[in-house]
Amino acid sequence: MSQSDQSLLVALVGNPNTGKSTLFNALTGLRQRVGNYPGVTVARKSGTCDCGNGQKVELVDLPGLYSLAAASPDEQVVTDALAGNIAGDRQPDAVVMVVDATNLLRNLFLASQVAELGRPMVIVLNQSDVADKQGLHIDTALLSQRLGGVPVVLASAWKGEGVAEVRRGIATALAGRIQMKRVAWPAKIAAALTDVVQDAHRDTGKDVSSAEAQRLLFDAGNAHSDRLGWSQAQRDKSLRAARDKVRTSGYNPMAAEPLVHYAHLRALLEGVLREGSVRAGRSAAVDKLLLHRLVGPVLFTVIMLGLFASVFWLAKFPMQWIQFGVDWVKLTVAHSMDSTPMLQSLVADGIIGGVGAFLAFLPQILILFLFVGILEDSGYMARAAFIMDRMFSWCGLNGKSFVPMLSGFACAIPGLLSTRTIEDPKARLATAFVVPFMSCSARFPIYALMCAAFIGPIYGPGWESAVMVGMHCVGLLFAVPTAFVLTRFVLKVRPQPFVLELPRYQMPKPRDVLWRMWQNAAEFVSKAGTVIFAITIIVWALSYFPRDASVAERIKAANPAATEEGVKAKVQAAYVEQSYMGRFGKAVQPVFDPLGFDWKITVGVLASFPAREVIVSTLGVTYSVGEGAKADSQHLRHAMQDAKWQEGPRAGKPIFSLAAVLSLMVFFALCSQCGPTIATLAQESGGWKWAAASFVYMTALAWIVSALLYQVVIRLLP
C-alpha cells in the first residue's frame, strides 16, 4: 500500500511497558514500514490500520515515554512529531493514547500533556485483564465523560481483546474530532504562557502554539528554542520574566507542570477508579527472589551465561549448515565458470565467499535478538540493569550498558543497535564507543588458530585454554578505562539521571518477540550486508590484480616434481605476493615490524581491516596452503610453525615466536577491523566523527599495545 492512499495519519503514544507495541502489531497486522526520523537515531515505525469500517489510516508507533519534557532524543521526536515539526512528516490527525489500566494516574499525565497539542484522541485502557485481576474497576463511561467525551476503550492487546473497539474508537475520534479536556492553568501560569507565545513571535516572527510555549517555559533544555531560531539572549530574557511570573503564583516553574496536571487528574479520577479487594501483584514476590541480595546476582549470572552459551551453541549447527551450503554453491558456480578464471574468482572467492562469511554470523545474531527480546518483554531487562548499575556507574556508564556489551561478545553490531535503549546520551555514546572492544566471535578463528598452532603444542592444553579465555578479556580490560576517560574528560554531553521503572513481570508474546527479532535482523543484514559486500569486492580486486600469466608459468617451471595441488597453492601465493595488496603489504611491513609481523602477516592484517575473520583464509593463501584454510587446518599450522625470517637481524629464527603470537592476537583483540561496525557506529552516534575517532583510537591502541608486548616478550624469551 503506498503512502498516497492514506490521507490520514494517526499516532500511537504511551508510556513504556504499556503494551503499546503489542497493540501496534495487533492493529497493523505486521504490515509495517521501518525507517528513521531525520537526523536522529530514533526508528519511525508505521503501518496501515483498518478502522473497521473500511477506512484505512497510517498508524505511526511513537517511542514510549513518560513525559513530553524533551530530555532525550526519543522524547524530542514525540514532541516534534505530535506538533507536526518533523520534516517530511505530517501532523497526526488523531492520537491513540495507550494507557496502562493498572496505573491510570501516571499514564494520564502524559495524555494530559498531549491534550495540550489539541489533537483528537482515543484513550485505550490496555492490560485491562491485569487490572481486573488486581481488583481494579474502572468506570469507562464516567472517565470518557470527565475527559471531555473522548472515546475510552478497554483492551488487552496481549490477549487480542478490545482491538476491534480500538479500531472503531479511531474512526469515532477522526470523525468527531473530539479532544481530551485540557488542564485549567492557574491565571498567572496562563499569563506567563501567553507572554512566551508573544515574545517568541515578536523575536522570531514564527507562530508558537501554547503547547510549544509550555515546553519552552517548563523544560530546562533548549531544543525547542533552537529549532525556532530564538536567540539565547532574547530567549533567556523572556523565559526569566515568564518564570518569575509563575513564581508569584506560588509555583516553582520547574515543578508547576506536574503539580497542576496531577492535581487536575486526581480530581478527574475521583469516583472513576474503584479499588475492590486489591491483591498485590506477583511481581513483588518474584522480585524478592530475582533481586535478592545473594540469590539475585547468582540467578543473574546463570541467566546471562545461559544466554551467552546458547547463542554460541544453538548457532553452531545452523552456522555449519550455512557454511556447508555456501561451500557447495561456491564449488558448483566455480565449476561452471572454468573457462573464465577472472570471473570465476570474482564470483566464487569475492562475492560468494564474502557473502557466505557474513551469512554465517546470522544465526548468532538472530538468537541474540530473540533472547534479548524475551528478557526485555518479560521485564527482567530492567532488573538486570538494576543489579548491574553499580558496576558501570563509576566509569560513567549505567546498568543498561550491560546488554550491549554482552551482545558485543557475539557481534558488535547488535550491541551497537541495542545501545538505543540507553536514554542518557552520554552513557549511550560511551557504551557504543566501547562495544567494539568486546571480543566478538569474528575474533575467535585467529585466537583458535594461534593457540592450537603455538600455545597448545609448546605449553600444553592448560595454557591453551587459559590464553583463549585471557584473549576474550583483553578488550574488556581496555574498554573500562576508555569509558572512564571518555565520560570524565572528553564527552561534554550533560549526563541524565538514571531513573528506571521496574515494570510488572509479563509473559512475552511470541509474535512480538519474533517480529522484533526479524526487524532487527533485517536491519543488520541491510546495514552490514551492503558494507561487507562492497568491501569484499574491493579487497578481492586488490589481491587478484595484476595477474600476469608469466607468474604461473615460472612457478610451474620451477617445481616440475610437485603435485598439481601443491603447484596450485604456490601459484596462488605468488600471485598474491605480486598483487597490489601484496606489494602494499611489503611496502608497509616496516610499520608492523616492531610488532613482529612479516610481510605475509601484514598482508593478512591489511586484508582484515574490512572484516577481521578474513585473516585465517588470507594467511592460508600467503602461506601457500590454499585458500580454503580454516582455523583447524593442519597444513596451515605446519606452514606457520616452519616459517622463518628470511633476512635481517632475525634471519633463520621462527616468525611465530611466542612474542609474535601474543602480539598478533592482542592486535586482533584491540584493532578496529570491521567495516560494518564503523558504519553502524557512525549511524548510531549521528555522524562520522565518532566512527573516525573509534577507528583511529582502537587501531593506534592495538599497535602500541602489541608493539610493547612484542618488544618485552622477545627480550624475555628470545
Cα 493 from Cα 396, distance rounded (Å): 12
For position 252 contacting another protein by CB under 8 A, the verdict is yes
Q: Cβ–Cβ contacts within 10 Å for residue 19, how many?
A: 24
Contacts with 293 (C-beta within 8 Å, 6 or more apart), sequence order = none
Tell the smallest beta-carbon distance from residue 386 to another protein (Å): 5
Residue nearer to another protein on the CB measure, 195 or 287: 287
Q: For 337-379, where are the alpha helices, taking DSSP H only?
A: 341-345, 353-359, 362-378
CA distance linking residue 155 with residue 125, whole number of Å: 6
Of 186 and 296, which CB lies nearer to another protein in the complex structure? 296
Closest CB to another protein among 269 and 466?
269
CB of 108 to another protein, least distance (A): 10
Q: Select from 187, 233, 469, 499 the one that contacts another protein (CB under 8 A).
A: 499
Amino acid identity of 417?
L
Site string for another protein, 372-391 (x = CB under 8 A): ----------x--xxx-xxx
Give the three-state DSSP class for 552: helix
Give the Cα-Cα-Cα angle 22, 76, 412 (nearest 5 degrees). 65
User: How many CB atoms are located within 10 Å of the residue 273 CB?
Assistant: 16
Q: Which is nearer to another protein, 398 or 622 (CB)?
A: 398
| SS3 readout for 413-479 | HHHHHHHHHCCCHHHHHHHHHHHHHCCCHHHHHHHHHHHHHHHHHHHCHHHHHHHHHHHHHHHHHHH
Residues 6 or more apart whose CB falls under 8 angstroms from that of 402 comprise 384, 385, 388, 391, 392
In the bound state with another protein, the residue whose beta carbon lies nearer, of 17 and 441, is 17
Nearer to another protein, 375 or 581 (CB): 375
Query: 395-414: which residues touch another protein (CB under 8 A)?
Result: 399
Supply the minimum distance, in Å, between the C-beta of residue 199 and another protein.
22
| Binding of residue 135 to another protein (CB under 8 A) | no
Among 244, 501, 548, 632, binds another protein (CB under 8 A): 501
Is there binding between residue 296 and another protein (CB under 8 A)? yes
CA dihedral 615, 618, 623, 626 (to 10 degrees): 130
Stretch that binds another protein, among 157-165, 167-175, 282-290, 521-529 (CB under 8 A): 282-290
What's the min distance (Å) between Cβ of 368 and another protein? 25
Ramachandran class of 686: left when φ > 0, alpha when ψ lies in -120 to 50, beta otherwise: left
Residue among 33, 56, 106, 420 that touches another protein (CB under 8 A):
106
Contact residue for another protein among 50, 132, 139, 287 (CB under 8 A): 287
Q: Does 102 bind another protein (CB under 8 A)?
A: yes
Rule CB under 8 A: say whether 188 interacts with another protein: no
Minimum Å gap between C-beta 433 and another protein is: 22
C-alpha 180/C-alpha 133 separation (Å) is 28
Give the residue, chosen from 16, 149, 258, 686, that forms a contact with another protein under the rule CB under 8 A.
258
User: Which of 293-301, 525-533, 617-625, 678-686 is the region at the interface with another protein (rule: CB under 8 A)?
Assistant: 293-301
Query: By CB under 8 A, which span of 288-296, 306-314, 537-545, 609-617 interacts with another protein?
Result: 288-296
Site string for another protein, 333-372 (x = CB under 8 A): ----------------------------------------
Residue type, 364: Q
297 interacts with another protein by CB under 8 A:
yes
Q: Using CA atoms, how far apart are residues 606 and 191, in angstroms rounded to an integer?
A: 66
The answer to the question of residue 103 lying near another protein (CB under 8 A) is yes
Of the pair 105, 477, the CB lying nearest another protein is at 105
- Minimum distance between the CB of residue 497 and another protein, rounded to whole angstroms? 3
Radius of gyration for the alpha carbons in the chain, expressed in angstroms and rounded: 30
Residue 499 or 717 with smaller CB distance to another protein = 499
- Judged by CB under 8 A, does residue 109 bind another protein? yes
Instruction: Quote the DSSP letter at residue 349.
Output: I
Alpha carbons within 13 A on the beta-carbon side of 569: 20
Closest approach of Cβ 400 to another protein, in Å? 11
State the minimum distance, in angstroms, from the CB of residue 393 to another protein.
7
CA distance to 428, 472, 651, 686, per residue, from 448 (Å): 32, 12, 27, 36
Decide if residue 283 touches another protein (CB under 8 A): yes
Other Cβ atoms within 10 Å of 383 Cβ, number: 24
> How far apart are alpha carbons 420 and 415 in whole angstroms?
10
Least Å distance, CB 131 to another protein, is: 11
Q: Where does this chain touch another protein (CB under 8 A) — which range of 2-10, 204-212, 286-294, 692-700?
A: 286-294
Number of amino acids touching another protein (CB under 8 A): 41
Decide: is 172 part of the binding site for another protein (CB under 8 A): no
Query: What does 95-162 look like in DSSP terms, one character per residue?
Result: EEEEEEGGGHHHHHHHHHHHHTT--BEEEEEE-HHHHHHTTEEE-HHHHHHHTTS--EEE-BTTTTBT
**Binding flag, residue 220, another protein (CB under 8 A):** yes
Comparison of 328 and 394: residue with beta carbon closer to another protein? 394
Question: 453-458, long-range: CB within 8 Å, 24+ apart, which pairs?
Answer: 453/636, 453/637, 453/640, 453/641, 453/656, 454/640, 454/641, 454/656, 454/658, 454/661, 455/661, 457/641, 458/658
CA angle 449, 612, 636 (to 5 degrees): 30
DSSP-derived secondary structure letter, 401: G
Spatial separation of the C-alpha atoms in residues 381 and 402, rounded to whole Å? 10
**644-663: which residues touch another protein (CB under 8 A)?**
none
Binding another protein by CB under 8 A: which of 30, 105, 591, 692?
105
Exactly one of 259, 331, 558, 700 binds another protein (CB under 8 A); which one? 259
Rounded least distance, CB 161 to another protein, Å? 22
CB of 344 to another protein, least distance (A): 59
**Residue 286 interacts with another protein (CB under 8 A): yes or no:** no
Instruction: Determine which residue in the list 43, 66, 525, 628 makes contact with another protein, applying CB under 8 A.
Output: 66
- Provide the sign of the torsion angle of the four alpha carbons 232, 190, 198, 246, taken in this order: negative
Position 102, amino acid: T
Query: Strand pairing partners for 11?
Result: 60, 95
Q: What is the dihedral of CA 532, 534, 536, 542, to 10 degrees?
A: -150
Residues that bind another protein (CB under 8 A): 66-67, 69, 71, 102-103, 105-106, 109, 220, 252, 254-255, 258-259, 262, 283-284, 287, 291-294, 296-297, 382, 385-387, 389-391, 393, 399, 496-502
